Structure 1
Amino acid sequence: MRAELDKRAMAALSSGHLATDFANGALPALLPFFVDKFELSYTLAAAVVFASAVSSSIVQPLFGLWSDRRGAIWLLPGGVALAGIGIALAAVAPTYSLVLVCVIVSGLGVAAFHPEGSKFAAFAGGRRRASAMSLFSIGGNLGFALGPTVATPLVLAFGLAGGLLLALPCLAVAVTLLLLAPFLGSFAPDNGRQIQTDEPDRLGALMLLLGVIAFRSVAWFGLITFVPLWEVSLGHSKAHGNHLLSLMLLAGGVGTLAAGPLADRFGRRPVLVASSAATAPLILVFVIVGGVPGAIALAGVGISVIATFGVTMVMSQEYLPRHIGMASGLSIGLSIGLGGVGAVALGAVADSIDLRAAMYVTAVAALVALVLAGLLPSSRSSRRLAAEPVAP
């Protein structure tokens, strides 16, 4: 294992993560415009997020399995390009069904990038794996924050046709990753060798962690889906709601910078439990109090939730050390996809009761995540990963 973190490689991988999640993050900002254009209910609006979650998350373990068995560095530029093209076409789709198709295409690009990107981040991070995952994650956090920040003024200025411009930064990053593919490939184990370890896979601990991520994601997807719509329901503008969404996401990026080094120093589990404990109370402050205190609380939610994305990714790889691509696909993909399913259920709650009730359910989901996090064992291993020969 490399001793030091390679900054050039991490910059490239983090940029790719930024671009894919930029496309993904533009979707919540487009939702209010889709609601107006197609006269959607809350359930149908949440179904768009669900389509994105399924295509971008649930299939990620399959890409992770492919990555572990064969390696597929071309998924890095290919995934970024597909994510950007899909969301751009979704903005100009003439029917609701075509919006869903384009969102699914974009989601598949996101799914293709993440397992391979997180695996190479682990390779390039050396012994500072949690710090490397934080750097990788912050690219995604910033991208998700920039998505609504860029998408909203584009649509306000040019109509939904302005969404076509969302593809440009993704395509630029895709070309860069394509050119850097030989350099990034040098961090993988030598040809004919794969990552081996004496540490066993701990499937029970991994399943418990996936439960934490799933309930955390129910709360998270609920917020990114309904924060803009919640503000509109209170009489504020669509731009105001999207600005609050961007605040939450940008604050999370700041938290990510601290979470990785803290997890390397004090342990993954204590950082995860502490951040989980803050989430539900902060959601309640946002919903019940609102105003400036609510905006500050929403920023706190961003810090407490987003900051642990990289931590849980590292924990999944340490619980499943023999299959880190699969572990990444499961932690980012399947469990987050289940959170997207939860977002549809929250949409049904909003339609059948009201939007406030749905926001309260997000706080309950965060509490369940806290309980499960408290049951997790330590993820640190006593032995280091090493590359060993594999018989042809």
Structure 2
Amino acid sequence: MSTPAADIPSVPATSPGAVKPIALPLLVALSLCHLLNDLIQSLLPAVYPLLKERFALDFGQIGLITLTWQFTASLLQPLVGIYTDRHPQPYSLAFGMGSTLIGLVLLSQATGFALLLVAAALIGTGSSVFHPESSRIARMASGGRHGFAQSLFQVGGNIGSAIGPLLAAFIVMPRGQGSIGWFAIAALAGIIMLARIGRWYAAELAHARRQKHVVSTALVLPRGTVVRALFVLGLLVFSKYFYLASLTSYYTFYLMARFGLDARSAQLHLFAFLGAVAAGTLVGGPVGDRIGRRYVIWGSILGVLPFTVLLPHANLGATTVLTIVIGFVLASAFAAILVYAQELVPGRTGTVSGLFFGFAFGMGGLGAAVLGQLADRIGIEAVYAICAWLPAIGLLAWFLPKTKPHHP
């Protein structure tokens, strides 16, 4: 049995074999909106120390805030994707950013724990609405260069996630809770841009419905093969984000414990790693367009294994180099994984995007929680020695069906 045909054409064409040129300005705008979205999302955990002191919260209450935020930001994404696959909502992105805006303002003015939970839920809901539909728009605007479009879209999120905590440290922490509201300017800018993107999306949907011919780069495979491939991709995402959680959440503590660095120096090493992640994200998609996504997935997840195994035994200089290489190589996989999955299930771009974005965020959050508990028991250095072998799961990429690279 084959997978279903696309309900909504992702690449409309005016004639057989024709593909629209890439809409690069729109993709840049979409990436910038992703930056703004993820910048705001990263503010919440960055201001936990301030909220803990301001409201005398215990760690259990901090955990409930995180659970509320992660639930709405991660688990709702597949549901949003399923709905928008059947009922596209061109202006839902602007409304989603509106939810984030309300959550920000409420967070800046909250007077109790219950309001903090509501604010966290609204901020997370905005992210859940944003990712599935924006990933679909990136595919529609790609001109057939799906990997490049997803990489450009995702790198905005990487940059936003990296600079959000910095802005929190320099703006919010010295000035207090009320200064969180200043970031409403970013949300307003996002709403304006996303409304314009929504108009483009609505026009493309109307154009696609009028066309009789659609160019599709989707794979047509037996359902069992598709299910097996999606399961393998899920395991690869698990290994990638569990390992990334060990670096994004605990790298500074590792450097301080192993090499005696102060917090400032350790943060500089973390920023270098996050920069490498952003660069790898930008490169992985276009390379997958050229040589095939399966090879990028294989090389990214499994190829990083020698470096992760060496990391727990390296001196400080080698650790810096190794983590930059690890960040670059490992980050190159996600755009390829996402586009590969979208092609496995044509016509379900929102569902697939919501599922993989949500699963990735969920694994990152779960990984941080599990590894934190493990570090308390066995030490942070032992955690890195164990996590070093997670990329070996990349061997499962062997079971992914082979595809041909697409050259638009």
Q: TM-score range by the shorter chain?
A: 0.7 to 0.9
Going from structure 1 to structure 2, the CA distance change for 1:33 and 1:216 (only over 3 Å counts) comes to: farther
Whether contact under 8 Å (2:69, 2:121) holds in the other structure is yes
Q: 2:220 aligns with which of 183, 186, 199?
A: 199
1:171 equivalent to 2:185? Answer no
Query: How far is 1:54 from its partner?
Result: 3.0
Moved more, 138-147 or 177-186: 177-186
Deviations 1:42-66 (A, max 9, x none): x987776555433212221101011
Whether contact under 8 Å (1:125, 1:131) holds in the other structure is yes
- Report the residue type matching 1:372 in the other structure: L
Q: 1:22 aligns with which of 35, 39, 44?
A: 39
1:227 equivalent to 2:251? Answer yes
Whether contact under 8 Å (2:50, 2:176) holds in the other structure is no
**Counterpart residue number, 2:14:** none
CA distance in 2, matches of 1:177, 1:192: 22
Matches within 5 A, 1:280-359: 280-283=305-308, 287-289=312-314, 291-359=316-384
Matches within 5 A, 1:194-273: 199-200=220-221, 202-230=226-254, 236=261, 238-273=263-298
Q: SS state of the match for residue 59, structure 1?
A: helix
Structure 1: 5+ residue stretches without partners: 385-392
Query: How far is 1:162 from its partner?
Result: 3.5
Matches within 5 A, 1:38-77: 51-77=68-94
Query: How far is 1:222 from its partner?
Result: 3.4
**Counterpart residue number, 1:125:** 142
CA distance in 2, matches of 1:298, 1:50: 29
Deviations 1:326-367 (A, max 9, x none): 111111113542442233222221233333333444333333
CA distance in 2, matches of 1:53, 1:32: 18
Deviations 1:200-232 (A, max 9, x none): 562221121122112212222333222345456
CA distance in 1, matches of 2:146, 2:329: 20
Moved more, 333-342 or 58-67: 333-342
Moved more, 223-232 or 213-222: 223-232
Whether contact under 8 Å (2:229, 2:399) holds in the other structure is no
Whether contact under 8 Å (2:96, 2:126) holds in the other structure is yes
Moved more, 249-258 or 239-248: 239-248
CA distance in 1, matches of 2:388, 2:243: 7
Query: How far is 1:253 from its partner?
Result: 1.7
Query: How far is 1:285 from its partner?
Result: 5.2
Going from structure 1 to structure 2, the CA distance change for 1:53 and 1:300 (only over 3 Å counts) comes to: farther
Going from structure 1 to structure 2, the CA distance change for 1:26 and 1:247 (only over 3 Å counts) comes to: farther
TM-score (norm 1): 0.83
Going from structure 1 to structure 2, the CA distance change for 1:59 and 1:151 (only over 3 Å counts) comes to: same
**Counterpart residue number, 1:387:** none
**Counterpart residue number, 1:110:** 127
CA distance in 1, matches of 2:343, 2:228: 13
Going from structure 1 to structure 2, the CA distance change for 1:247 and 1:81 (only over 3 Å counts) comes to: farther
Structure 2: 5+ residue stretches without partners: 1-10, 12-18
Moved more, 356-365 or 65-74: 356-365
Going from structure 1 to structure 2, the CA distance change for 1:360 and 1:163 (only over 3 Å counts) comes to: farther
Query: How far is 1:160 from its partner?
Result: 4.8
**Identical-pair percentage:** 28
Whether contact under 8 Å (1:275, 1:305) holds in the other structure is yes
CA distance in 2, matches of 1:103, 1:147: 16
Query: How far is 1:121 from its partner?
Result: 0.7
Whether contact under 8 Å (2:101, 2:123) holds in the other structure is yes
- Report the residue type matching 1:208 in the other structure: V
Residues paired across the two proteins, number:
381
How large is the RMSD of aligned CA atoms in angstroms?
Answer: 3.4
TM-score (norm 2): 0.80
CA distance in 1, matches of 2:128, 2:77: 5
Going from structure 1 to structure 2, the CA distance change for 1:223 and 1:84 (only over 3 Å counts) comes to: farther
- Report the residue type matching 1:74 in the other structure: Y
Whether contact under 8 Å (1:121, 1:136) holds in the other structure is yes
Going from structure 1 to structure 2, the CA distance change for 1:220 and 1:179 (only over 3 Å counts) comes to: same
